[in-house]
Structure 1
Amino acid sequence: MTEPTAEQIKIEKLYQQWGLTEEEYDLISEKILNRLPNYTETGLYSVMWSEHCSYKNSKKVLRKMPNKSPRVLAGPGEDAGILDIGDNQAVVFKAESHNHPSAVEPYQGAATGVGGIIRDIFSMGATPIALLDSLKFGPLNNGKTKHLVNEVVAGIGGYGNCIGLPTVGGEVSFEDCYEHNPLVNAMCVGLLNNTDFKHGTASGNNSLIVYVGAKTGRDGIHGATFASDEFTDTKNKQRSAVQVGNPFIEKLLMDACVEIIEKHSDWVLGIQDMGAAGLVSSTAEMASKAGSGLVLNLDQVPQRETKMSAYEMMLSESQERMVLCIKPEYETQVLDFFKHYELDAVVIGHVTTDGQYKIYHQGQLVTDIPVDSLTEDVPEYDRKEVQPKRMLADKDYHFEPVVTSLAKTWLDMLQRPNIASKKYFYQTYDSQVKTNTLIRPGGDAGVVRIRGTKKALAMTNDSNSKYVYLNPFVGGQITVMEAARNIVATGGEPIGITDCLNFGNPEDPEAFYELDKSVEGIASACEMIETPVISGNVSLYNEYNETAIYPSPMVGMVGLIDDIDNLTTIAFKDSGDLIYVIGQTQDDFNGSEIQMQQENTIKGDLRPLDLQMEKAHQALVRTAIQQKLLKSCHDLSEGGLAVALSESAFENSLGIDIKTDLTSVQMFSETQSRFLVTVSQKDQAKFETLAAGSYELLGRVTTDPNFKVTTRDEKVSIDGKQAATKWKEAIACLMK
């Protein structure tokens, strides 16, 4: 094909098909270059100035996030964030969204999302140790959604299992708004056995740029642009924008990159994953961060397809590729090192001091632009924001459930897809590989031991988008605090978060309000419990035919467990143990699972979250665990107390005998800041002294697996085995 000329691109406005606006094109041609950009250059600007790479609509909002603490060694701007965990060790983690690719090509979309996030971790020199995922789909009532779910789960499992990484946690939920725009967010956690690490920079005049990994093909071209556009009936079939993954090459690449940084750190000046926007984003960002320039020769790039143009090679998002900046005197050693791993490794360019980004192809100079124009000169937009009309209309609405039979409602709630056991999905994932997993999927948080120490890392990801839809600010706070309660319930101290901010079109004032206010909520909660936001990802334009998903920020949190003897799980342990709720239960039903169950919609406002009380209850639980007073601990979230009691009892086939002053309806309230805990009878006095004024004693655990429950208005006995069966089998029944 003959490439359009620079004049044709301007006259026919071809740049608009690639996501550049007329104003942006004019800025590039009239202010930055003082000439018309050619075909390749226009392509480079279109991907680098996309929302996915530049955050042009969200940068001003993201600056509200706290990203400093004494533990932070690297924060936003690197491939992944790094936190010091003592003993000359650090934890490295990040989350990424792969929403649009997974909607179009679910297996490869999900698999390459996992592959990309793993590379972000080992590009920092860290050894990846665990994966988590946060998935949102439409309702499980049609074959298309079931196929999508099966393929996404298979893609995540297939990639992670092949590489030998345990998937230790995650979440899956189902709402109408995700039917045409599913959310697939993947998180990876790694361990750095030295607090020295490599920044993604290309520095030093005449340092060499080395390409390592799989060959470049035509897959994923314009993937970043594709991720920065909404779906419609006519625009959702861009399969060419989806990459294809090969976990076996990734495993070689991972082992090689970790080893070269650990053992030959003096050879390497910088390293970066070729992720979104491929070769252009990795090399331009490395040069820009170092204040340097680059000369690249694309004739050296390993290619798996013939006659690839400069435009195609620079924009390809072929997987399993890395860029290294190395000292020139170590060229032979570096190339031989990767050859030993049977990986392509070639020098494709060198660093300069002039700040220019020059690309040669077939002997011709095809690009000559300032490096910073791709990364630093992107316009930042101040979007208009307006409170959604629904928030004003429903402000005074208070949903009150009707529970005529506590037993029936209890069993119905356990079978709701958002509450039922997700084992049908997570049994696809190997959660035990590497034999370091201490808490597997199904608990409040996954936990992985740190070998050679008594420490462990707790990790979770959480996203209750229904709350954010009703009140973005309070919903954002709840997202952080629910993640924190999950960490605290295992015996951990929350130390930092990553996020995936999944929202609609930022040019819609109501959608931008949701983004802005939820980030403010997240920031205020993070400041209260001192958990900096050290990495993350923004995924906007999640819409189908101009209807947006719920605003869906996902918070991935990591916590430190100083001593694995303090490890705590959700499961009730022994008959006779006392059952307590920490925290007051109120009538919080707006946005709840029981509201969806009974009204098939959500509306109303949320009660303001008392951050001080939340912090106090988390501190109380951590102290009780450290004093060895708790035998189990579970945070209360979807479905409220009834669901938490059930989940804790099912694990060891135990029952409950409780009496509470709560009404039957309040058993399903989703009041925040609450924990369900069990305490040995011998520790009753100690615990009640410690928790003074913050608890209600409900009753005790029984060997008899039935649930004997007396509320203020009803006395019931529920067959615990039947309840467990319904909870365990609900998803499998729907998937069939």
Structure 2
Amino acid sequence: MTVHNDTVDNAKSTPDQEQPYRELGLKDDEYQRIVGILGRRPTDAELTVYSVMWSEHCSYKSSKVHLRYFGQTMTEEMGSKLLAGIGENAGVVDIGGGDAVTFRVESHNHPSYIEPYQGAATGVGGIVRDIMAMGARPIAVMDQLRFGPADADDTKRVLPGVVAGIGGYGNCLGLPNIGGETVFDETYAGNPLVNALCVGTLKVEDLKLAFASGKGNKVILFGSRTGLDGIGGVSVLASETFEEGAERKLPAVQVGDPFAEKVLIECCLELYHSGVVVGIQDLGGAGLACATSELAASGDGGMRVNLDAVPLRAENMSAAEILASESQERMCAVVAPENVERFMAICAKWDVNAAVIGEVTGEGDRLVITHNGEVVLDAPPSTIADEAPVYERPWARPAWQDEVQQQVGVGKHANLRETWLRMVASPALCSRDFITQQYDRYVRGNTVQAKYANSGVLRINEENNRGVAVSADASGRYTYLDPNMGARLALAEAYRNVAVTGARPVAITNCLNFGSPENPDVMWQFREAVHGLADGAVELGIPVSGGNVSFYNQTGDVPILPTPVVGVLGVIEDVEKAIGHALPARNDEEFTLLLLGETRDEFGGSIWQEISGQGLAGLPPQVDLGNEERLAEFFVGNGSVSAAHDLSEGGLAQALFETLLGSGKGAQVDLTGVHEDAFTAMFSESASRVLVAVSQDRADTAVQRATEAGVPVTVLGTTNSTGDITVAGETVTVAELAEAWHATLPQLFDHAMAPNSPA
């Protein structure tokens, strides 16, 4: 089969040739802008490259005008520990002692709906390579998942594949999965969210960045061969203008090979430690088109690339196909000529394919790409990578927002015991063991906390036990009711989850999942969430180190709940002293239970509102981030705390149950100091609250420390060895709660959760 290969010379001589730019997602004025940049019509390859690089996913063209607010609000002091920040593959934080940590979260939503296993698996693979590209060793992953109703047929199709994909790829890489969330809501039906987070560690001096510098330096593509998978959307290859002959069968979702990536990780680390890498970029979205244009645009000279040198796994691939392919497990490096032989030898040692595909030319702002001996792309790389159109989309507070926010009386149930059992068994709060048991949590031996924990806690330095705590949180329900406050609440919860381990929060990342940016309601939600998160970061004094935006998450005209996932990284000097979320199972000791923080009648967006069918309305809990800072100070270096569990969804009831679970203990709880209404005391979702357990002989000290820190504190009662929890005159056993908590997901998904790997 012959594939048509449009060249620059041909483009000059055929200026009136029609091109399928609209099918590629480009608007009329965007196409004309490309023509103006080039001074002629684009070739097939150029049109492909501009279309993918100017897409919403790669260019942030609808969000950039609002994302600038992060940079405008960050102070010099906030960014003092950032080695790499917004705009890099991942944020990197100096955590002291020569150690640095990098983390980032990204979305792979639409591919995971189309092909759940590979969509989720390659989402993990992609975020891992972002971490690798910073010069780091990936050490752990997390996931934030959103699906339609738990009992919906399509959820039973999508969820098992997504979970199997995350577990299959992460487990094969040998990376522990240290936490995350799984949320069910009808707005995610037809548009699940699969957000993957990765954490990596490196020495400060080993930091790597994506740029092509140094005239004569070679560009080396290494890793898996390039194939036809992952050429997304209505690509250039669907048009007869771009292909002659039989129709090709192109998998729209990338196909991952975790074993190839595992070897690639080790190969990259040896390359870094050998000092043979000048610049590095992973190949993810937009493939080689992105890697070459971004490396060239960030460098100090032009670049020339020969596609004939790219190792292929399909015959007769056109230049457009090679550039747009999103085949997985590939990296692109810039290497000095004298180090090429050593680079190739290291790749050969690890049995990793590598090929010199180009060089830095020093010809200024010019990227030249050849194929079959002819020039198929000749353009300024900055116009591809950095100069996509920036849209100031219309935004306006929705007309329905005030009506939704009108305070509504939330019906409360008189029977606390019945309500508690109903709450823990709901899909919103029930055990996720049925999902997370498919993930390896403790591989590599440095996981300190994972299962049921507030945050994943990892040992970073085995010599001094320095470590990190990581949490990622979001509530689409809260954000729908008040986008600014919803983003602040996500930040507050992640910050608090990190703080209660005894870690000091140091950096923020995010993945902002919203509907169509062409909808003014959605853009208002997005803008409000960005401002809430950025302003909240300033109030807490820690930087936003990077993030990701995912738009067009909707089914038909109905957008998902606005879902800003916020991750927080904290540093703990000795992970052996990390505070756990649950009571130790020591039958010879009883504990005093304390509630830190103030409980108010706040049920807007709550789990009780959801499961009782009262409709999503009202205002979400209101958060004062100063209270979160005071809580954090209480926990740092506090050796008197035996266990701590943050209060968020499900309120005190859920935290109390999860704290006692597995300890063999019950408790006698007095709610009179919490709130005048027992139901509110148990199920309100007021922010800035933590349930704390301390040895009885340390209770007075803990109360005094909280008071001195300006944190409201209430003595709830003491634990006992009965296994019964007595609250407001009603008694329920931990065993009853646990049975209800464990049963829900197995009953819903047991038939669907057999191994679900690709055929």
Q: Quickly name the TM-score band, shorter chain normalised.
A: over 0.9
**Match of 1:52?**
57
**Match of 2:715?**
697
Secondary structure, aligned partner of 1:656: strand
Give yes or no for contact 2:121–2:166 (8 Å, CA) kept in 1: yes
Deviation string, structure 1 residues 161-220 (Cα, Å, up to 9, x no partner): 111111111111100001100000001101103433121111111110001000000011
Alignment partner of 1:458 is 2:473: no
1:165 to 169, 175, 190: 175
Secondary structure, aligned partner of 2:530: helix
**Match of 2:607?**
593
Letter in 2 for 1:554: V
1:102 to 96, 112, 116: 112
CA spacing shift, 1:349–1:13, aligned 2, 3 Å: closer
Secondary structure, aligned partner of 2:663: coil
Q: Cα distance, 1:10 vs. partner?
A: 7.0
Letter in 1 for 2:148: G
Secondary structure, aligned partner of 1:56: coil
**Match of 1:709?**
727
Give yes or no for contact 1:420–1:731 (8 Å, CA) kept in 2: yes
Using the alignment, how far apart are the partners of 1:720 and 1:268 within structure 2? 56
CA spacing shift, 1:608–1:440, aligned 2, 3 Å: closer
Using the alignment, how far apart are the partners of 1:337 and 1:725 within structure 2? 53
Alignment partner of 1:289 is 2:324: no
**Match of 1:397?**
407
**Where in structure 2 are the equivalents of 1:126-145 lying within 5 Å?**
126-145=136-155
CA spacing shift, 1:380–1:416, aligned 2, 3 Å: same
Using the alignment, how far apart are the partners of 1:586 and 1:332 within structure 2? 67
Using the alignment, how far apart are the partners of 1:594 and 1:433 within structure 2? 37
Give yes or no for contact 1:224–1:276 (8 Å, CA) kept in 2: no
**Match of 1:630?**
641
Q: Cα distance, 1:455 vs. partner?
A: 1.2
Alignment partner of 1:21 is 2:27: yes
**Match of 2:735?**
721
1:602 to 616, 619, 633: 616
Letter in 2 for 1:300: A
Letter in 2 for 1:475: G
State the TM-score, normalized to the length of structure 2.
Answer: 0.92
Secondary structure, aligned partner of 2:472: strand
CA spacing shift, 1:223–1:277, aligned 2, 3 Å: farther
Using the alignment, how far apart are the partners of 2:546 and 2:625 within structure 1? 23
1:618 to 626, 632, 637: 632
Q: Cα distance, 1:597 vs. partner?
A: 1.1
Q: Cα distance, 1:390 vs. partner?
A: 2.5
Using the alignment, how far apart are the partners of 2:136 and 2:547 within structure 1? 17
Letter in 1 for 2:718: R
Secondary structure, aligned partner of 2:79: coil
**Match of 2:656?**
645
**Match of 1:240?**
251
**Where in structure 2 are the equivalents of 1:479-494 lying within 5 Å?**
479-494=490-505
**Match of 1:584?**
598
1:306 to 315, 334, 348: 315
2:215 to 179, 183, 205: 205
Deviation string, structure 1 residues 431-472 (Cα, Å, up to 9, x no partner): 111111111231100111121122111111111111011100
Using the alignment, how far apart are the partners of 1:494 and 1:77 within structure 2? 22
**Match of 1:274?**
283
Letter in 2 for 1:708: T
CA spacing shift, 1:645–1:10, aligned 2, 3 Å: farther
Deviation string, structure 1 residues 261-290 (Cα, Å, up to 9, x no partner): 01x21x221011011100010111011011
**Match of 1:37?**
42
Give yes or no for contact 1:57–1:381 (8 Å, CA) kept in 2: yes
Deviation string, structure 1 residues 526-551 (Cα, Å, up to 9, x no partner): 11222211122111111111211011
CA spacing shift, 1:10–1:594, aligned 2, 3 Å: farther
Give yes or no for contact 2:671–2:678 (8 Å, CA) kept in 1: no
Secondary structure, aligned partner of 1:434: coil
**Match of 1:230?**
none
Alignment partner of 1:89 is 2:104: no
Unmatched segments (≥5 aa) in structure 2: 237-248, 751-759
1:540 to 528, 533, 551: 551
Deviation string, structure 1 residues 342-389 (Cα, Å, up to 9, x no partner): 111110001112221111111111111111110222111111111122
Deviation string, structure 1 residues 1-40 (Cα, Å, up to 9, x no partner): 547886999775611111111111111113x112111211
Letter in 1 for 2:390: E
The worse-fitting range, judged by mean Cα deviation, of 377-386 and 306-315 is 377-386
Q: Cα distance, 1:607 vs. partner?
A: 4.8
Q: Cα distance, 1:655 vs. partner?
A: 0.9
Q: Cα distance, 1:241 vs. partner?
A: 2.3
Q: Cα distance, 1:292 vs. partner?
A: 2.1
Q: Cα distance, 1:609 vs. partner?
A: 2.1
Give yes or no for contact 2:495–2:628 (8 Å, CA) kept in 1: no
Using the alignment, how far apart are the partners of 2:667 and 2:5 within structure 1? 72
Using the alignment, how far apart are the partners of 2:492 and 2:577 within structure 1? 21
Give yes or no for contact 1:223–1:242 (8 Å, CA) kept in 2: no
Secondary structure, aligned partner of 2:23: helix
**Match of 1:188?**
198
Give yes or no for contact 2:457–2:575 (8 Å, CA) kept in 1: no
Give yes or no for contact 2:621–2:685 (8 Å, CA) kept in 1: no
Q: Cα distance, 1:139 vs. partner?
A: 0.9
Give yes or no for contact 1:19–1:225 (8 Å, CA) kept in 2: no
Using the alignment, how far apart are the partners of 1:77 and 1:444 within structure 2? 29
Give yes or no for contact 2:502–2:638 (8 Å, CA) kept in 1: no
Using the alignment, how far apart are the partners of 1:704 and 1:195 within structure 2? 55
Q: Cα distance, 1:222 vs. partner?
A: 3.2
Letter in 1 for 2:22: Q
Letter in 2 for 1:386: A
Deviation string, structure 1 residues 140-180 (Cα, Å, up to 9, x no partner): 21332112111101101111111111111111110000110
Give yes or no for contact 1:136–1:174 (8 Å, CA) kept in 2: yes
**Match of 2:418?**
408
**Match of 1:337?**
346
Using the alignment, how far apart are the partners of 2:231 and 2:162 within structure 1? 21
Alignment partner of 1:656 is 2:661: no
Give yes or no for contact 1:164–1:433 (8 Å, CA) kept in 2: yes
Secondary structure, aligned partner of 1:141: coil
Q: Cα distance, 1:600 vs. partner?
A: 5.2
Alignment partner of 1:250 is 2:286: no
The worse-fitting range, judged by mean Cα deviation, of 352-361 and 275-284 is 352-361
Using the alignment, how far apart are the partners of 2:417 and 2:410 within structure 1? 18
Letter in 2 for 1:605: L
Give yes or no for contact 1:423–1:442 (8 Å, CA) kept in 2: no
The worse-fitting range, judged by mean Cα deviation, of 59-68 and 270-279 is 59-68
1:443 to 453, 462, 466: 453
Deviation string, structure 1 residues 509-536 (Cα, Å, up to 9, x no partner): 1100111100111111111222211122
Secondary structure, aligned partner of 1:442: coil
**Match of 1:734?**
748
**Match of 1:235?**
none
Using the alignment, how far apart are the partners of 1:406 and 1:709 within structure 2? 8
Using the alignment, how far apart are the partners of 2:113 and 2:231 within structure 1? 17
Alignment partner of 1:73 is 2:83: yes
**Match of 1:424?**
434
Using the alignment, how far apart are the partners of 1:721 and 1:28 within structure 2? 66
Secondary structure, aligned partner of 1:63: helix
CA spacing shift, 1:415–1:334, aligned 2, 3 Å: same
1:682 to 690, 694, 697: 697
- Number of aligned positions between the proteins: 715
RMSD (Å), alpha carbons: 1.8
Give yes or no for contact 2:206–2:272 (8 Å, CA) kept in 1: no
**Match of 1:122?**
132
Alignment partner of 1:527 is 2:538: yes
Q: Cα distance, 1:423 vs. partner?
A: 0.8
